[in-house]
Each structure stands twice: as C-alpha cells, then as structure tokens.
Structure 1
Amino acid sequence: MNSYDFKDRVAIVTGGGQGIGRTVAERILASGGKVSIWDRDAALLEKTVAEIGSANVEGRAVDIGDLASVEAATAAVIGHFGQIDILINNAAIVGPNAPTWEYPPQAFSDVVHIGLTGTFHCCRAVVPHMMARNYGRIVNVSSVAGKEGNPNAVAYSSTKAGVLALTKSLGKELATQNISVNAVTPAVAKTTMALSQAPEFLAYILAKIPRGRMLELSEAASMICFLSSEENSFTTGATFDLSGGRATY
C-alpha cells in the first residue's frame, strides 16, 4: 500500500460512514492525517467512528443538502482541528432505476440535490478557508455514469455529469492558488449503495467493465489519496478514470 504524507493535514470526507468514503478516511488516518467524517446517518456514523477508534477522527451528522448544516459543520471542524486542508466530496444517493419518461420527479430532485447541490454546498463553505491559507486539495467523487450515462439512471447520471463540470469550473477558478480540484469516475464498486440496486441493472453495468469485476474500495482510495496529497501540486480541473477500462477518455 502506497503511503502519502498527511502529517498535519486535516480532511473532511462526506458520506464517510461506509464504502469508498470510509476507506479513504482510514487511509488518510493511517498516513498521519486527521479526519472529520460527515454522514447524515448518525447511527452509522457513530458506529464507524467507534470502529476506527482513533483520536484523530471525529464524526459529524451533516445533511449536505442543507447549506446551513454544511456551514455550521465547516466552522465546527475549523474550531476542532484548526484548519481544513482536504475536502473529499463523496456523499451521494443513487435513486431508483426507471426509464426517463417514467422516472419519479421527486426522486430526480432528491438525487441531484444531494449529489450535485450538496457538493456545491461543501465547496462553497470550505473553499474560502482554503483560499485564506493558500492550500487545499479537493476531490469530487463522480462516476463513469457521468461520462457515458447509464440507461434507467437518468438522475444519477445527470448528477455525476454535473459534478464533472463543477470540478472543471472550480479548478479553473482556483488555478492560480495552491489548491487543486479534481474528480474521479469509478465504475461500480463494492459498496452498500451500489449493491442495493436492481440485480439486472448491476449485471448490465458489470458486463460493460473490461476488467470483468467490481472496483475494490482500496483501489479507489489509493487514487483519491494521491489527488489529496501535497504531491498533486500541478494537476487541477481534471478527471481521473476508475472504470476498469469501460471509459478510455
């Protein structure tokens, strides 16, 4: 396992109660960093923090769809740790599987509000602090669905495409400072959220991956941690592929 130097660095990981977010948080902690895990599932959050069992981790029940909640949590992290160096925007919901013309309007709104508007809320709250310190690393977890679009997943695909555009815009806005903003586009990974989808839909997207398997959480964490490290000092506004060969651009 590669290790990056996160000594004296503080990270926020949204949706960190499980899956990719938790794995990233654990990797940062193992590399000397401090982490504030955000999740709207308070019970899961408490369980995760207890299982990690580190003095350098805290959990905060945050609804990223609520700007006031995000702003309050941001101020609390700064008060607790003194700074924020890294923001991992991982939180999202998938929504149901249905053709666009049958897709429930409220479900579409909910998916976009958490995955895209929530990511915007977190960036809006955290970036001014990073600008004041002239240092920051932001990684937005998008999806290969944001590049290619998955049928019967219009809300999720649209959300993740929006996250890629947000990454490019913010990356350009902050390019003159020592703040990088990049995105990753995972294929389906072994997460509770992914495995909760319809079996036929999972079979469809798995069949499109040339590697012939799901993404391992540790593989996602490895790439995200590099992009979160000080070593990633030049690349910004870019998209890094984690699709197992499904997307080649």
Structure 2
Amino acid sequence: MRTMRAAVLRDFSLGIQLEDLPIPEPKPNQVLVRILASGICHTDLHAIHGSWDKKPILPLIPGHEGVGIIEALGSKVTGFSLDQKVLIPWVGRTCRTCSFCSSGNENYCDRQFNTGYVIPGTHAEYTTADFRYILPLPKDIDPVQVAPLACAGLTAFETVKKLRSNDNKTLLIMGVGGVGHLAIQYAKEFFTRIIAIDPSAIRIAQAKLLGAETYSPEEWLSLNPKPLVDAAAVFAADPIAVTGAMNALRNGGTLALVALGKNK
C-alpha cells in the first residue's frame, strides 16, 4: 500500500499532526493530484482552531490553495489528462441543481462541500478532487506563485468584477493584505484611479509599487477635502474600515464587504 504524509486535524485542542496515510483512490468524478504547493489561508487557522460556529468535520486534512500534477483519472473524468498541472480551490463540490449552480454561481450554493473544511484538503502529498471544480494551469507556471490564487486570488477577482462598471472609475481599497494586494493588480484593468489604505508601512510600500495611490489611516483622515470614490472594497476585518469606506463613497457608490470582523 502506497502512503503519503499529510497534516491531519483530529482534535481542536491538539492542532494538526503529521501522519502517514494511504494515498486515496479517485472516485469516478475525481482526479488524484500529487501536490506541489499548498498555500496557507487564514481560513485554515479558523478550521484548525474550530473558531467558527460551523466547525469542520474531523478528522480533516486542511488546505484549499493547492497546485499539483494529475497522477490518476476517475472513470468519468473528461477534459483533463495525466501529468497535467491543476489548481484546487475552496469550492470542492456543490449540488449542481440549485439556481446558483445553474447560473455559474456555485460559490453561493447552500449545499457546497469545501476543500480542507468538509472534504480532505491540500496540506498533504496527495489529494483527490472533483474534476468539475479544478482549474487547468500552464505547464511552466510556478506552483508556489500561483497557489494563493485558488482562494485569495479568486476572492479578489470576484470583488473587483462585481464593482466594475462604466460609471465606476475610482476604487478605494481598505486593507492591503493577502487579498487586497491582489485586488489592486486586478483593478488596474478596470479602474483609472486606485486608492489603498493600510496601517502597515510595508503593505503601503507594496501597494505603491503596484500602482496604487496610498495612505495610512492617519494620512487619509487628515485629508481635507477627501476625494469621493465610485466604489470601495473592505478587506480589513475592522468596523472602522467599513465606516471609513462608507464615508468615502459618492452618492450612488458601491461597497463590497469582504473581510469578517470578530463578533460583528
């Protein structure tokens, strides 16, 4: 029997442990993927600590930002081949029958199974994944660079996509962390002016290199008058950031709330 190393969560009080487990066999709609890189998302920490009301099903292998190579194909898999590089995201499986699934919005499905939270994730040498929810990747792409796009990248892109319109030219981004800095890069394709606010000098410097107009919270508060923006996205888990974004919007502007604040 072939075995693999995996990060396994069996008890919230003990955290994850490295274990030797059998390499899983793919079901008819699944592929077996040898993992090359697996990003760590803050959701992984919530899973490991059991900090959300809806806790993960234990035992669990966390991880939902996976890049790997297909090593085996289930009998019903189409469109993928052996040795193909793929991306494994948060949405691992859905009902495929509700109005959300029928309209291409599977991420809103009430009966979704999330990778690394409900079904085995990517913090392992191998995992299986439903071929209908993985994404093909170019063969020469760097797995370490692309792994975060499976969650942070998709979240940032979906946010910018929802905020873009012919009327929206200026975008305010509150919080330039793992998701916010990706949002800046996507937003450059759709907005003529991007304003980024973050208390971290390192993050502000990065945002400036990416082409954003940058401010610390103190600098932003001191502006008089402050510019009004067409759209705002809050990637900071702070109620103050939400208030600041709302106050910066022009009449009829659009606000996207992405981060989850504590007890809010």
TM-score range for the pair, normalised by the shorter chain length = 0.3 to 0.5
TM-score normalised according to structure 1 size: 0.35
TM-score normalised according to structure 2 size: 0.34
Instruction: Report which of the two structures shows the higher radius of gyration computed on alpha carbons.
Output: 2
The structure whose RCO (Cα within 8 Å, separation 6+) is larger is 1
Higher helix share: 1
Higher strand share: 2
